[in-house]
Structure 1
Amino acid sequence: MIGYYAHHHGTGHMTRATSIAAATDEPVTVLSSRQPFPHSDIEWLQLPLDTPQPSDTGGPEYPADETAGGILHWAPTGVRGLTDRMALIAEWVARVRPRLVVVDVSVEVALLVRLLGVDVVVMAMPGERTDTPHTLAYRAASAIVAPWSRSVYDPQWLRPYADKTTYVGAISRFDGRARETVGDDASVVVLGGAGGTTLVASDIELAGAANPEFRWIAAGIDASSWRADVWPLLCSATVVVTHAGQNALADVAAAGSPAIVIPQDRPFDEQIASARALGSASVAVVTDAWPDPDGWTALLNRATELGASGWGRVEQRGAAGRAARVLDAGAVVR
C-alpha cells in the first residue's frame, strides 16, 4: 500500500496524485482535505482542515507560534483541525502500515510520517526552497520526485540531494489523450485555474478589442468562464496564455500549443522560477505581468514564431508513469 498526501490548495496536487496513482502497480490511498474527484475509484482518507475554526480557543496572539520557532511552515498551537488531521494520519499509518507515503506537499506531514518510521517520497516544488523547513523535508525524504525535466530546470538548491532525486518530467492529466479540436478560427485561450488568478474578465476583453484578429477565450479565470474540460480548447488554440502553475504548464505541453506564460505571485517564487526556466530554454514566451492591450501584438507574434516544438524539452509524455516507477521500485536510497 502507498499513501499519497495531496495538499488541498487548488486542484493541482490532487490531479497529480490521481495521475500517478493510475500508473502504479500498487494500491494507493490519497490523504487530503479536498473532496475526492467525482467518479474517482481511488481510496480516499478525508482529513480535517488545519486552519483556525470558530470552535477553537486562543488568546490575543492566536494562532500562536505558527512556525514552531522557524523550523516549520504551519504548526500553530491551539488549532483543533491541525491536531485532528495529524492524529488521523498517524492512526492510518499505524493501522494500514503503508510501504511508503508520497507527500505533495507539506513539510509537517513529511516529518510526521518519517517520525512514524515510514519512508517518505517528497514531491519537489520549483522556486527558492532553501529555508529551514524545506531543507528538513528534503533531507528526511527517502526519495525526491521532481515533476519537471532537468534539462529545462536544474535548481542549485536541489543538487545536494541528487543521489535520491528523479526528474520525471511534467505530469499532465491529459497525457495520452487523443487530440480534440473545436472551431477553426485563430484563437487565444487564456487559462486560469483553481489556485486563483489576478485576472478579471475586463482584462481579456480589452486585450481582445485591441487584437481582434484572434478570438479571445477565457477558461477558468472566474466562475462564469470555468470549463470542466479545457482539452479541446488547448488543442485548438493558436496561442495559449497561461500562468506558470505546474499542472497548467504540463497540460499546455500535452496539447502542444504555442504559449505565453505570465507567472502569478506564489510563495517561494514558485511560478517565477518555472516561467524563467521555460523562457531560457525557448519553450515559451515569458512576460512578467499582464501587458497593456497594445502590448499583445508583439507577444503574440513572438509566440507564433517560436511555435510549440520546445514543449518536448519538458518531457511531458509518460511523466506520470516514470513517477509511478520510482514508487514501484521502492523509491529508497540506502
Structure 2
Amino acid sequence: MSGRTVGWYVHHHGSGHATRLRAISRHLDEPVAAFGSMERPPQLPESVTWTRLERDDGTEPGSLPPQVLDPTVGGLLHWAPRGHRGHRRRLARLVEGLDRHDVGALVVDTSVEVTLLGRLLGIPTVLVTQPGARDDAAHAVGLAAATRVIAPWPAGLLEPAHLARVRDAVTFTGGISRFEGRRPDPVRSGSVLLLAGGGGAAVGGDDLRRAQDATPGRDWRLAGTLGDASGRWVDDPWQALSSAEVVVSWAGQNAVADLAAAGARAVVLPQDRPFGEQHATGHALRDARLAVVRPSWPSPQHWPDLLEEARHLEPRWERWQVDGAARRAAQVVHEVAEGGAA
C-alpha cells in the first residue's frame, strides 16, 4: 500500500454510492477512509476504514423538522438545516476524521456541502456528479470548488449542460459496475427480471402482479425492494440479471452500468429523482437505442408488446464503456491524491 489516504464521503440516499466506492476502491493503491450514515457496507476491501456519521435529516426532540430550518440557505446550498445538532455533529465528525487520517484527497459522492467543506479545509476534492438539470446556484458553487469531477457515464451519449462550464476538470469514465468482467449465465427463455434496487420507486407489488397477469408464459422475478416495501434486497443479482431474457429496470447510474455489463435487453423506466436525473439518463438510452424506454410504469395491456420489443433489441452496450471505467475513476482519484491535479 502506498500514497496518502483518500477520504471518501458516501451519500445515504440509495445503495449506489456505496456500490461505487466498492468498485473503485479495489483499483486504488492508497488506503481509503470512508464516511457515511449507514453501517459499513458489505464486501469493502480491507484497505477501506469506515466511520459512521450522525443523520442530519431527522426531527430532533424539541425542534422543528429540518425541512423548515432554512436548509437551502435561500437556495445557496442543498442541505444545511439551521440549528440541527445532528447536522453539526455529522460535519464535526467528518472534519475530525479527515484530519486524523491526514487525507490527501476527498472523494465526494455526492454533496455540495461536503465538497465545500473539503475545499475550506484545503483538501483537494473529487466530486462524483450526476445527470439532470443541475443549473442551480448550489451545484454551480460545488462544481467550481471541486478539483476534478467524475461523470460515471460515457461522453457523447450524455453530456449535461451543467458540466460545460467545468469541462476541463471532468473525466467521463463510462458506466461503473461492480459486475465488470463477470461472465454472463445462459439466457433463460421467457424470463423477466425486475431489477428494483433499494426502493424509492413509484411502483408497488400490485403493479408487478398486474404486469405478470398480463404476460402469461413469462417467468417474472424481482430483485430489490419496491416502493411499498415489497420484495427483498439481493446482495448479488448477477445470475438473475445476466440470465434474464428481458430486464426491467429503473435508470439509476449503477443500474444502467449493470445492464451494460450484462449485455441486457432491457425495458428502462426512469423514476422521479431530484433534478430529473433518471429521465435524462432514459433519454440518452433511448436516443442511443440501448433500451426500450418509457417515462413511467406501463399499463398492463402494454406489457406484452414492450417485452417483445425489448427481446428483439440488439443493444451495443459497449458504447456505455463499462470495461475499465472503475480503473479510470481510480486514476483520477490517485492523481488528485498525489498532487497531480492540484
Superimposed CA distance per residue, residues 284-316 of structure 1 (whole angstroms, 9 cap, x where no aligned partner): 1100111111112222222122223x2111101
* In 2, Cα distance between equivalents of 1:224 and 1:170: 26
Q: Give the unaligned 5+ runs of structure 2.
A: none
Q: Does 1:178 align with 2:183?
A: yes
Deviation at 1:63, TM superposition (A): 4.2
2:102 aligns to what?
Answer: 97
Q: 3-state SS of the aligned residue for 1:330?
A: helix
Superimposed CA distance per residue, residues 87-146 of structure 1 (whole angstroms, 9 cap, x where no aligned partner): 111112222221110000111111011000010110011111110000000001000000
Deviation at 1:39, TM superposition (A): 4.7
1:28 aligns to what?
Answer: 32
Structure 2 length normalisation: TM-score? 0.92
One-letter amino acid of the structure 1 residue matched with residue 243 of structure 2: S
* In 2, Cα distance between equivalents of 1:273 and 1:115: 32
Q: Does 1:147 align with 2:152?
A: yes
Root mean square deviation, CA, Å: 1.8
Matches of residues 93-132 of structure 1 in structure 2 within 5 Å? Answer: 93-132=98-137
Q: Does 1:318 align with 2:324?
A: yes
Contact 2:126/2:336 (<8 A) preserved: no
Superimposed CA distance per residue, residues 224-279 of structure 1 (whole angstroms, 9 cap, x where no aligned partner): 34323211011111110100111111111111110110000110001000111110
Mark the CA change 1:259 to 1:59 in structure 2 (over 3 Å): closer, same or farther.
Answer: closer
Fraction of identical pairs, as percent? 42
* In 2, Cα distance between equivalents of 1:86 and 1:72: 15
Superimposed CA distance per residue, residues 198-228 of structure 1 (whole angstroms, 9 cap, x where no aligned partner): 2222222221222213211122134534323
Q: 1:47 aligns with which of 53, 68, 82?
A: 53
Mark the CA change 1:200 to 1:58 in structure 2 (over 3 Å): closer, same or farther.
Answer: closer
Q: 1:304 aligns with which of 300, 307, 311?
A: 311
Mark the CA change 1:59 to 1:166 in structure 2 (over 3 Å): closer, same or farther.
Answer: closer
One-letter amino acid of the structure 1 residue matched with residue 292 of structure 2: V
* In 2, Cα distance between equivalents of 1:93 and 1:225: 35
One-letter amino acid of the structure 2 residue matched with residue 145 of structure 1: I
1:200 aligns to what?
Answer: 204
Q: Does 1:293 align with 2:297?
A: no
* In 2, Cα distance between equivalents of 1:286 and 1:209: 21
* In 2, Cα distance between equivalents of 1:10 and 1:17: 13
Contact 2:267/2:306 (<8 A) preserved: yes
Mark the CA change 1:122 to 1:240 in structure 2 (over 3 Å): closer, same or farther.
Answer: same
Q: 3-state SS of the aligned residue for 1:250?
A: helix
One-letter amino acid of the structure 2 residue matched with residue 24 of structure 1: L
Q: 3-state SS of the aligned residue for 1:29?
A: strand
Mark the CA change 1:234 to 1:80 in structure 2 (over 3 Å): closer, same or farther.
Answer: same
Mark the CA change 1:195 to 1:118 in structure 2 (over 3 Å): closer, same or farther.
Answer: farther
Deviation at 1:60, TM superposition (A): 8.9
Mark the CA change 1:13 to 1:194 in structure 2 (over 3 Å): closer, same or farther.
Answer: same
Deviates more, 1:192-201 or 1:42-51: 192-201
Deviation at 1:14, TM superposition (A): 0.6
Q: 3-state SS of the aligned residue for 1:148?
A: coil
2:79 aligns to what?
Answer: 74
One-letter amino acid of the structure 1 residue matched with residue 299 of structure 2: D
One-letter amino acid of the structure 1 residue matched with residue 95 of structure 2: A
Contact 2:222/2:231 (<8 A) preserved: no
Mark the CA change 1:62 to 1:147 in structure 2 (over 3 Å): closer, same or farther.
Answer: closer
Contact 1:67/1:76 (<8 A) preserved: yes
Q: 3-state SS of the aligned residue for 1:329?
A: helix
Contact 1:126/1:270 (<8 A) preserved: yes
Report the number of matched residues. Answer: 331
